[in-house]
């Protein structure tokens, strides 16, 4: 009985962490992408936050594959920004 209670408590903790977006933090690549993007001409500060920001959908789903895909996109986009805006200081 005790093992069942402990297992249920552990499952509940995992589900709560996933529901709250716990366990997956914003990647450094996406932090860097947002910082670089905001240094480019015409960029709107915070326009990427809902997706790539610390509370964005990339991380709040709790799905590692989603987070990995977002990080890959951020890597690609920062590379593009560095090419397109070499004077931005990224």
Degrees, nearest 5: CA angle 79-69-72:
20
Stretch 69-74: mean pLDDT:
98
Instruction: Supply the mean pLDDT for the chain.
Output: 82
Let me know: does 64 contact 9? Beta carbons within 8 Å: no
Token match 């004077």: residue?
87
Q: Enumerate the domain spans of the chain.
A: 24-88
**Cα separation of the two ends of the chain:** 57
45 close to 23: Cβ distance less than 8 angstroms: no
Contacts of 59 (CB under 8 A, 6+ apart): 21, 24, 25, 26, 67, 70
The pLDDT of 14-18, averaged and rounded, is: 42
Q: What percent of the chain shows pLDDT beyond 70?
A: 76
pLDDT of residue 22: 57
């Amino acid at each position: 009985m005790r093992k069942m209670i402990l297992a249920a408590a552990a499952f509940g903790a995992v589900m709560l962490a996933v529901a709250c977006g716990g366990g997956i933090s914003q990647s450094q690549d996406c932090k860097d992408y947002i910082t670089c993007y905001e240094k480019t001409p015409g960029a709107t500060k915070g326009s990427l936050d809902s997706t790539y920001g610390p509370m964005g959908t990339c991380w709040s789903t709790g799905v590692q594959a989603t987070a990995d895909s977002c990080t890959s996109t951020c890597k690609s986009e920062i590379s593009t920004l560095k090419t397109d805006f070499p004077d931005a200081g990224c």
